[in-house]
């Protein structure tokens, strides 16, 4: 241990997923300097960013928030949650702040609340694009002005800097918009002077809460005790365990590279980190590094409305039809194309997809067994129209066209589709796609300025 005082950070899993109450109580007894949890993910898809809807139920979010805020106020330390409401745009942050105010009112709590929105003005993205400072992340098309204009919402993933600013302003509860996961936890240790390697890697290890333990189903919070040259990760629920394996696994979770995790100002590098089993339930980590980047970057996420979806679910059991299913689907597609032309609907204004369960619906082009279909096929016919009207018009043709279509000289002749439901068409509603998934180069002061801290007394 170095001579500096270690910093303790208590973390629970993604807000609204629940956690062990006993584990939280035991964690609070360890007098952490911060209680925090992540609230977001892009895994639920672009729909929630595009619509502004919160992905989790209000009741489950309120249970977790209520206990966490109460615990933090009890010992007088900050509570931080980031990527609020899932997608972390303004409506998601506002919905979370509403909950926080409601909890404060019900429990007669008073505190300084900081709100940090993560919405990025489209004009700024256009300007940076024109300057050549926007690059694609992975196999994504180059960004265009059109894609920016079509986006219903654009957020940037903030780093640790806005959190530090809010803490300096005296925030006791912080509700932040879209954020990198470890940034939610790293502000307090970095502000206390802990070395970046140790502070960042420890924050990464706890950013999925109980996923760092051997039994995630027990919901134990985890406590990081962070010093300059090492940190210790342990569960706080009695009987829970962290092992070298369970802690080391966190950096590879949903990450293309198990050793490196990118941040706006650099990269958490665990290549030279060593994990030691400290005692039977906690793990000590040394050798963590943080490699600063030449230029700060912010990851942008944007969602655009691309149409409206209706689906039809049908089962097919006729073996002769299943044997020639690709040929059948081609003929089905042609029939819908004729219907579209007769209704003056352009090819570009709709998209028809067949999701063939029992053949290749789950893996598509990755499916090695697509030529060995099973004895029955579950078919979801998926139509997305540019407008609700186009989707409705073509959807009404899906059942009759597909069920009557005869390519095998069938024996029954009653129809190809076994319908499990009536009505057979299901309205799925608006469909969004990621319109922006890019890195934007920024100037140093923008690490804070793009994410303006708003303070209020609650």
Partner 1 sequence: MDERGPLRLDELASFIKSTNAGATKLTFDIGFADEETFRVALDSGAINKAVVSALYGVPQDAIEIYEYAPAQIIKVTIPRSVMSGGLAERDFDGVQQFAPLLDIPVPLDERTG
| Residue ranges that bind partner 1, judged by CB under 8 A | 42-47, 137-140, 244-245, 248-249, 252-259, 273-275, 306-307, 351, 353, 355, 361-366, 368, 384, 431-434, 437
Residue 169 vs 363, nearer CB to partner 1: 363
Q: Whose Cβ is closer to partner 1: residue 46's or residue 117's?
A: 46
Neighbours of 214 (CB within 10 A): 16
Tally the residues of the chain. 458
Q: Measured from the CB atom, is 76 or 256 closer to partner 1?
A: 256
Measured from the CB atom, is 255 or 374 closer to partner 1? 255
Residue number, 243 or 424, with CB nearest to partner 1? 243
Stated as kind and residue range, the H or E segment containing 70 is helix 58-75
> Min. distance of Cβ 284 from partner 1 in angstroms?
13
- In whole angstroms, the minimum distance from the beta carbon of 408 to partner 1 comes to 27
The number of beta carbons lying within 10 Å of the beta carbon of residue 414 is 9
Closer residue to partner 1, CB minimum distance, 79 or 434? 434
Tokens of 220: 């134990």
- Tell the smallest beta-carbon distance from residue 415 to partner 1 (Å): 27
Cα 204–451–46 angle (5° rounding)? 70
Angle between helices 161-168 and 183-191 (to 10 degrees): 50
- Residue 81, CB half-sphere, CA atoms under 13 Å: how many? 29
CB of 350 to partner 1, least distance (A): 11
Shortest Cβ distance from residue 226 to partner 1 (Å)?
A: 19
Q: Give the nearest distance from C-beta 235 to partner 1 in angstroms.
A: 17
Is the CB of residue 158 less than 8 Å from the CB of residue 174?
A: no
Q: How far is the CB of 285 from partner 1 (least distance, A)?
A: 9
The DSSP result for 127-196, as a single string, is HHHHTT-EEESSS-PPP-HHHHHHEEEEEE-B-SHHHHHHHHTT-SEEEESSB-TTHHHHHHHHHTT--H
Return the number of the residue (44 or 419) whose C-beta is nearest partner 1. Answer: 44
Output the 3-class SS for 305-336: EEEEEEEEEEEECCHHHHHCHHHHHHHHHHHH
């Amino acid at each position: 241990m170095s001579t500096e005082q270690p910093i303790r950070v208590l973390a629970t899993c993604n807000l609204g997923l629940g956690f062990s109450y006993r584990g939280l109580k035991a964690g609070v007894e360890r007098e952490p300097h911060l209680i925090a949890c992540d609230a977001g993910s892009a895994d639920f898809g672009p729909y929630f960013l595009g619509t502004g809807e919160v992905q989790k139920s209000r009741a489950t979010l309120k249970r977790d928030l209520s206990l966490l805020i109460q615990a933090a106020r009890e010992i007088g330390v900050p509570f931080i949650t980031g990527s609020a409401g899932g997608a972390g745009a303004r409506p998601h942050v506002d919905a979370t702040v509403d909950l926080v105010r409601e909890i404060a009112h019900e429990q007669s709590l008073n505190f300084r609340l900081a709100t940090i929105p993560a919405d990025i003005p489209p004009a700024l993205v256009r300007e940076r694009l024109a300057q050549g400072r926007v690059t694609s992340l992975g196999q994504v098309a180059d960004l265009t002005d059109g894609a920016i204009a079509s986006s219903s919402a654009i957020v940037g993933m903030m780093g640790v800097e806005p959190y530090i600013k809010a803490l300096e302003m005296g925030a006791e509860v912080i509700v932040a918009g879209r954020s990198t996961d470890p940034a939610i936890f790293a502000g307090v240790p970095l502000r206390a002077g802990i070395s970046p390697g140790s502070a960042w890697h420890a924050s990464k290890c706890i950013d999925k809460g109980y996923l760092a333990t051997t039994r995630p189903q027990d919901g134990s919070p985890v406590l990081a005790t962070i010093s300059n040259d090492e940190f210790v990760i342990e569960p706080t629920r009695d009987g829970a365990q962290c092992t070298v394996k369970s802690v080391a696994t966190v950096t590879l979770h949903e990450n293309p590279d198990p050793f490196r995790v990118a941040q706006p100002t650099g990269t958490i590098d665990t290549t030279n980190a060593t994990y030691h089993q400290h005692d039977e339930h906690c793990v000590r980590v040394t050798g963590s590094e943080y490699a600063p980047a030449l230029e700060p970057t912010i990851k942008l996420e944007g969602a655009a409305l691309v149409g409206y979806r209706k689906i039809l679910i049908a089962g097919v059991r006729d073996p002769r039809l299943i044997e020639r299913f690709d040929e059948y689907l081609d003929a089905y597609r042609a029939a819908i194309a004729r219907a579209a032309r007769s209704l003056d609907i352009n090819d570009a204004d709709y998209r028809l997809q067949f999701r063939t369960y029992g053949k290749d619906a789950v893996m598509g082009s990755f499916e090695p067994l697509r030529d060995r279909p099973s004895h029955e096929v579950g078919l979801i016919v998926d139509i997305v129209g540019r407008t609700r009207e186009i989707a409705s018009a073509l959807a009404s043709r899906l059942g009759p066209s597909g069920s009557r279509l005869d390519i095998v000289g069938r024996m029954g002749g009653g129809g190809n589709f076994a319908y499990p439901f009536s009505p057979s068409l299901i309205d799925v509603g608006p469909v969004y796609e990621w319109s922006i998934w890019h890195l934007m180069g920024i100037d140093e002061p923008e690490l804070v300025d793009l994410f303006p801290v708003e303070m209020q007394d609650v």
